[in-house]
Amino acid sequence: MNRIFLFDVDGTLSVGDIIPDSTILALEELRKNNDIVMLSTGRCLGQMKDLLSKIKIDGAICNNGAYAFIGNDIVFESPIKMDEINKMLNDGLHVTFLARDSYFRIDDNSIYYDFAKVFNITPAELKNMDYLKNNNIYSIGVQDYNLDFDVSKYDLNFIKVCNLGYDVINNGINKATPIEFIKRKYPNYKIVAFGDNTNDIEMLKVSDISIVMGQAPKEVKDIATYITKPPLDDGIKYAIDNYLKESI
């Protein structure tokens, strides 16, 4: 039976900008074996150019589940309505936008640079309102030095990611959402998911096999089919060699 592999990025596939050589080779071997290799991440494709220069993939679940593709086919998408975006802008929130291929903002504030430092990422690129209107927005970042505002006034799901910001997606969307559609497209494939954090829990629960990295918190480890080593200790290759070759 062929398999579809879903790899969370930050803390699973990579740490910072480091991807172990063993992981790069493991992904190559999976693809040679006709398995489908996908990423599953809160990032958009535009934030993964450096990563994708080091590895080859067949598809990805992006924007915390709001956009997914395999090859040239869009498997699932859930763009945020412009009415909700305008409500945020009219309320004066500092927001970054994640389209399919770009991570951007339309105003300037020091919060964007301080938020980027927390996650060691490149700050959102400055664009104009026309650019916003001409792109589907699949997820939004809300950043502020004081996050004490009423999120319930928006018809959206706010996920706190640090003391400076939220990830925002449509209600009912998570990394597991596109998997239903992937299973319909590939009914005879077994889903194998790798993750390390609480935003991976839904994905891990609906997958046939869930591999959790060694540094993951207890609530994530508790739902794992198998617990492997941390990523920089060759955790992905270790799981493939010591569990998956025996189990499938």
Give the three-class secondary structure for 214: coil
Verify that 73 and 121 share a domain, yes or no: no
Partnered with residue 168 across adjacent β-strands are 140, 158
* Cα(216)–Cα(12) distance, integer angstroms: 9
Give the mean pLDDT of the chain: 95
Task: Give pLDDT, residue 82.
Answer: 97
CATH of the domain at 227: 3.40.50.1000
Task: Give pLDDT, residue 47.
Answer: 92
Verify that 13 and 91 share a domain, yes or no: no
- The whole-model pTM stands at 0.93
Verify that 74 and 97 share a domain, yes or no: no
Domain of residue 31: give its range: 3-78+174-247
CATH of the domain at 148: 3.30.1240.10
Verify that 154 and 89 share a domain, yes or no: yes
* Cα(183)–Cα(191) distance, integer angstroms: 8
Verify that 143 and 209 share a domain, yes or no: no
Last residue in a domain, options 169, 187, 217: 169
Verify that 121 and 191 share a domain, yes or no: no
Grade residue 246 by pLDDT with cuts at 50, 70 and 90.
low
Q: Read out DSSP for 58-103?
A: SEEEEGGGTEEEETTEEEEE-PPPHHHHHHHHHTT--EEEE-SS-E
What would the pLDDT profile of 187-235 be if each residue is shown by its tens digit?
999 999 999 999 999 999 999 999 999 999 999 999 999 999 999 999 9
Task: Give pLDDT, residue 81.
Answer: 97
Last residue in a domain, options 132, 150, 169: 169
Last residue in a domain, options 135, 169, 203: 169
Verify that 89 and 165 share a domain, yes or no: yes
Q: 207 near 190, Cβ under 8 Å?
A: no
Q: What is the tally of structural domains in the chain?
A: 2
Verify that 205 and 153 share a domain, yes or no: no
Grade residue 247 by pLDDT with cuts at 50, 70 and 90.
low
Whether pLDDT at 121 is above 90: no
Verify that 108 and 178 share a domain, yes or no: no
Verify that 143 and 178 share a domain, yes or no: no
